[in-house]
Amino acid sequence: MRLKIGLASLLLTLMLLFSLTFALPVTAASSQYITKGNTTSKMVAFTFDDGSDGKNTTKILQILSANKIKATFFITGKAAENHPQLIKNIADQGHQFGNHSYSHPDFTKISAAQIKTELDKGEAVIKNISGKTTKPYFRAPFGSMNAASLLAVGNLGYTKTIGWTIDTVDWKGVSSSEITNKVVNNATPGMIVLMHTGEGATGTPGALQNMINQLKAKGYTFVTISQMLSTGTQTATSGQHIVKSGETLTKIASLYGVTVQQLATANKLTNINVIRVGQILIIPTTNYTVKAGDTLTKIANAYNVTVQQLVAANNLTNPNILKIGQTIKIPAKTGTIVPQPVPTTINYTVKAGDTLYSIAKRYGVTVQSIVTANKLASANVIMVGQILKIPASTGTIVPKPVPTTVNYTVKAGDTLYSIAKRYGVTVQSIVTINKLASANVIKIGQVLKIPTV
C-alpha cells in the first residue's frame, strides 16, 4: 500500500516538473495608447499630472469635492515622496491614480530595465502612501512614447497608456480664461483633458470651476479614466483606423487609398512622422448611398478605388452583401474631396549614413522607383552629396511641417542639455534656432525658443 502511494506521489511530482519545464512562453503585449474615450456620450475625464511640488492640489481637490466630481491623478514617485499627505488626500476623496514614473525621464531614451525601475519605484511609493495601485494606467513623461517603450510598459501590467485629447498647457502659466476657452470650445464626447497641479499652473484652479459650470450647461458629465474606458472598448468604427505596431502614416494612407496629407489634415496632425500604437485616426471619406443593382466592385470602379479599400473604410465583414439605401464611405482619393496634383518629384541630397533603402522608406516609395527615376546603375552605390530625384508615392509629396517653437525662460540650475532633454530635442537644435555662440553659456532669465517639430 505504501509502495503504491509512493509511486503515485513520484509520478505526480514528475508530471508537475514536466509541465513547468515545457510551459508555453508568455506573449508580450504592448500598452494601448489612448487619447480619447470611445463613446458618443457627453462625458469628460479631467486628469492632473503631479511631477513636482503639487502646490495647487489642495485647491483642485476642494473644487472637485464641492462639485462631487472624481478625477484621475498621474503622480511621480518623487512627487509622492515630497508631499505624502496630498497623496493621502487624493486617495481619501476617492480619486483614481495613474503611474507617471518615479523621476519623470523620457521613456523613449531609456532601456526596458530602466523603465521597469521607474514604474516599480513609482508604484511602490504611491501604493505605500495611499494603499491604491496605479495599474493598469500610465501616462508618459512629456507624452513621449514609441513602440519599444509601449511594449516595455505593457509587459509590466500597464495595459493603458493615457494621452490626452486637449492639452491645456497650463504649466506655462496661461490664464484661467485661456484654459477654460480652450477646453469648452473644443469639447467633444469622450475627451481627456490634461492639467497640472504644480506651481507653474497658476490658472488651473480658477479655470476648473468655470469649465465645470460651462461643460455641465452643455450636458457633459465627469468621469475617471477607468469609467471612461469601461463605456466601450477601443474599436474603430466606420471611417476610422486604429494604429497598429509597425504602421506609418504612409502605410495607412496606402491601405485606404488616400494621401498622407489628407490623413494629416483630417486628424489635425502637426507631425506626420509621429503616430502612436492604439491611436484612432479618422479616414477622410465621402458618402455614397447604395442603389438597386450596385455591387462593391461597381462602386469601387466608379470612384477609382479598390474593393479592399472600401472594405477597410467601412469595416465590412462580407464584401458581397450590400443593402439598398446603405451608406458606403468612399476614401478621399478622387478630386471630389481633395484634388491630387500631377505626380512630381523632389530633390534629395544624400547624407552620410544614407542608403537607398532608408531614403525610400523615408519618402514612402520603393528602391526601384528611385533607381528608375535617377537611372542608377546599382541600388547599392550612392555618394554623399549626390542629388537624387524622389518620385511621388501617392500623387503628392508631403512637405515637412514648418518648425514651430515655444518659449522657455532659463532658471537657476538649467543647462542647455537639461532643457533639451526636457523637451525631447537636441542641444544643437536649440543652439541653431537661437543663434547661440556657445552651447555652454546661457543666463538666468534668458528666453530661449524651443523647437517643437
| Residues annotated as catalytic (active site), given as ranges | 49, 196
Tell me how far CA of residue 135 lies from CA of 75, 100, 150, 185, 444, in angstroms: 12, 11, 14, 32, 40
Count the neighbouring beta carbons within 10 Å of the beta carbon of residue 216.
13
HEC assignment per residue over 244-257: CCCCCHHHHHHHHC
Per the structure block, which three cell numbers stand in for 169? 498647457
Give SS3 for 243: coil
Helix-helix angle 427-434:416-423, to 10 degrees: 110
DSSP H helical segments within 187-314, as ranges? 204-217, 225-229, 249-256, 260-266, 296-302, 307-314
DSSP 369-425: HHHHHHT-S-TT---TT-EEEEE-SSSS-PPPPPP-EEEEE--TT--HHHHHHHHT-
Strand partners, 104: none
Tell me how far CA of residue 350 lies from CA of 126, 360, 382, 429, in angstroms: 50, 12, 8, 21
| Residue 333, phi then psi, degrees to nearest 5 | -90, -30
- Determine the Cα–Cα distance for residues 362 and 252; give it in Å rounded to an integer: 14
- Rg over alpha carbons for the chain, rounded to the nearest Å, is 27
Question: Among candidates 118, 124, 82, which has minimal Cα distance to 100?
Answer: 118
Give SS3 for 53: coil
- Given a contact cutoff of 8 angstroms between Cβ atoms, the answer to whether 102 and 77 are in contact is yes
DSSP 85-144: HHHHHHHHTT-EEEE--SS---GGGS-HHHHHHHHHHHHHHHHHHHS---TTEE--GGG-
- Determine the Cα–Cα distance for residues 245 and 147; give it in Å rounded to an integer: 7
Strand partners, 348: 388
End-to-end CA distance of the chain: 78
